[in-house]
Amino acid sequence: MSTTVFATVRTALRSVLHWKPMLPLPRKGGSPALALLPLVERVPAMAAPCRMHPAVYAIEAAVIDWARRTGLRADAGVGFHRMAGRAFAEFDAAAAALFAQWLTWLFHLDDELDEGSCPLDIFHGMLKGAARHPLEAAFADLWRVTSARMSDQWRARFAVNLRRQADACRTEADNRAAGRMPTLEEYPALRRGTVGPYLYDLVEPCLRVEVPAWMVECQPWRELVDACNDVTAWCNDVASRPKERGDVHNLVVLAVRQLGLGEREAVAWVLDRIADRCQDMNRAARLLPLDDLPPKAARDVSKVACAYLAAPRAHLDWLLETSRYT
């Protein structure tokens, strides 16, 4: 890999790892996500608000059109197009629109599983290409567009991560039925499953690139993805806790019940864990073996890594403005 190309890739990663601090003004109102604001002072990568994609309204229109066509809701106040518009602000509108459509589908799935209106065997239907339920039909539509760009290896990886979500959701359902609470040690891995681990695979087809299989399996890449998953999932736990009405599958609730903390202290404890995982993300990104790749592959991997590094602040901005948790 040439010195010039390698320096360009490293500079792109450093620009995400070292945003210049700029504190946002908190929104008026009582959004639970306001409890996350101390992170902007503690975590450099979450200090500066993300730039919004200049075509955000076209992205919103694409999501609404797709949702109507597939029979799902696309509530403008929830604003998945705005989360995607921030995470993919540096890329084309088609990338952001496809990711926003997947977010719309994923959160519909999450809601219907929580409400019991969607059977757990829906995962088996999706893997088999069934379309008995609107969510299965919407999945099939997205899968047709997304998978056409990718290799068999990538499709197999996605299927494994879809099964991981099915297994994690089954564990949650069994816990609720038995009145069992996961331990603080068990919870991170379980949460990585329920959040939809394939969400991180989707960055690649959205950007029309593919990370080499050996890179996906290397320790720094796995740590980068897991840490990004933990940060976004635990931020979501803080913001969604009142909406979940005491469900124990929430890191704040577990800290209250298992560590004997008050609500405020439990949130502070979770923020400490989030800040630690942000450091893990940065460390993993710096250890990626980009110099072992040809120049184009290194640039492609860098694009995906930069999207991961931008995700926590994009997610925080969305949590502060969405109507989903207020």
Is pTM, for the whole model, over 0.85? yes
Q: pLDDT value at position 281?
A: 97
Cβ within 8 Å of residue 35, ≥6 positions away: 238, 239, 267, 271
Confidence of residue 34 (pLDDT cuts 50, 70, 90): very high
137-172 confidence digits (pLDDT tens)? 999 999 999 999 899 999 999 999 999 999 999 999
* Segment among 16-25, 119-128, 143-152, 290-299 with least mean pLDDT: 16-25
The whole-number pLDDT of residue 31 equals: 83
pLDDT for the residue numbered 21:
34
Question: Does residue 127 carry a pLDDT above 80?
Answer: no
| Highest mean pLDDT of the ranges 24-28, 112-116, 217-221 | 217-221
Q: What pLDDT score was predicted for residue 15?
A: 47
| pLDDT for 30 | 66
H or E element: which one contains 26?
Answer: none
In tens, the pLDDT along 176-233 reads 999 999 999 999 999 999 999 999 999 999 999 999 999 999 999 999 999 999 999 9
Residue 20 confidence (pLDDT) above 60: no
Per-residue pLDDT averaged across 20-47, rounded?
Answer: 73
At residue 76, the pLDDT reads 80
| C-alpha to C-alpha distance for 231 and 274, rounded to whole angstroms | 5
Mean pLDDT, residues 290-307: 96
The pLDDT of residue 234 is 98
CA nearest neighbour of 202 among 88, 318, 79, 110: 88
The domain locations on the chain are: 24-321
Q: List CB contacts of 43: < 8 A, sequence separation 6 or more.
A: 274, 275, 278, 312
Token reading at 2: 């040439």
pLDDT above 50: residue 8: no
Distance CA 207, CA 158 (A): 16
Helices (H), 79-197: 80-87, 93-115, 122-127, 134-147, 152-178, 187-194
Q: How far apart are the C-alpha atoms of 235 and 200, rounded to whole Å?
A: 16
Question: Percentage of residues in the chain with pLDDT exceeding 90?
Answer: 77
Over range 283-303, report the average pLDDT: 97
- At 243, the pLDDT band (50, 70, 90 cuts) reads confident
Are residues 85 and 59 in contact, defined by beta-carbon separation less than 8 angstroms?
A: yes
pLDDT the model gives residue 245: 72
CB atoms under 10 Å from CB of 183, counted, come to: 10
What end-to-end distance do the CA atoms of the chain give, in Å?
49
Helix (H, G, I), strand (E, B) or coil at 28: coil
Q: Give the single-character DSSP code of 32.
A: G
What percent of the chain has pLDDT above 70? 91
pLDDT tens digits for 247-265?
Answer: 899 999 999 999 999 999 9
Architecture of domain 24-321: Orthogonal Bundle (1.10)
